Amino acid sequence: MKTDSIKNVLFDLDGTLTDPVEGITRSLQYALCELGVACPAPAELHIYIGPPIRDALAILLKTTDQSLVEEALRLYRVRFSETGIYENEVYDGVPEMLADLRASSHRLFVATAKPLVFTEKIMKHFRLSNYFEGIYGSELNGKLDNKVELIRHILKNAELSPGETLMVGDRMYDIRGARENGCMSLGVIYGYGSEEELKSAGADLICDSPQEIATRLCAPG
């Protein structure tokens, strides 16, 4: 894939800019335990980093009862909003990568299924906000937590050309969201999706570090 046509870069948050494993897994465990459901070990919950939390909770609870899912989500947010949100860390090399992309005149945006109210707090806390022209996330009621819909919303709202836009993320949802909207995609394998998952979803590029992302996108051709 030629990278010289890319002017706009959309970044997933969890598993791409920051590693949220502790906060998300502990908050999932809290919600399940409060409901009297057996709590999987943290390592078994890694697969749920990426999809919308409602979907993850429905699977973990083995239910289609939306009222139960919403109660679990409420409990998840009780812990996540105060504690879990900061049990998180920026991946090594991310600030430098973002600085390089900005210096090479790329327009940067955050595109995450995480609710915007939490996303903005995380970005501010880790001093990442100033690298981005726009920060986009879902609403608390679940609107825009689907990556296809979210990317479509960003393209329209920011008036971006799909052919000049790249989505960077660690899960198949990011890659599929890009493809459905006519954008290019870059999968990162330092997050929570495997190389096989990303390639199967149709990623145009695969990178194993933030440094490699900067090198690939800032190099001519």
So what's the pLDDT on residue 220?
A: 63
Q: Which of 12, 14, 145, 170 is catalytic?
A: 12
* Residue among 155, 156, 159, 209 at smallest CA distance from 183: 155
Helices 21-34 & 53-61 angle (0-180, nearest 10): 40
Q: How far apart are CA 78 and CA 31, in angstroms?
A: 9
Q: Which helix (H) or strand (E) covers residue 197, if one does?
A: helix 195-201
Mean pLDDT of 75-103: 97
221 pLDDT exceeds 80?
Answer: no
Model pTM score: 0.93
Q: Which residue has the tokens 């949220």?
A: 20
Q: Which residue has the tokens 């006519």?
A: 182
Q: How far apart are CA 207 and CA 116, in angstroms?
A: 26
So what's the pLDDT on residue 4?
A: 83
Res. 170 pLDDT band, cuts 50 70 90: very high
* Per-chain mean pLDDT for the chain: 95
**Active-site annotation holds for 12:** yes
Q: How far apart are CA 155 and CA 164, in angstroms?
A: 10
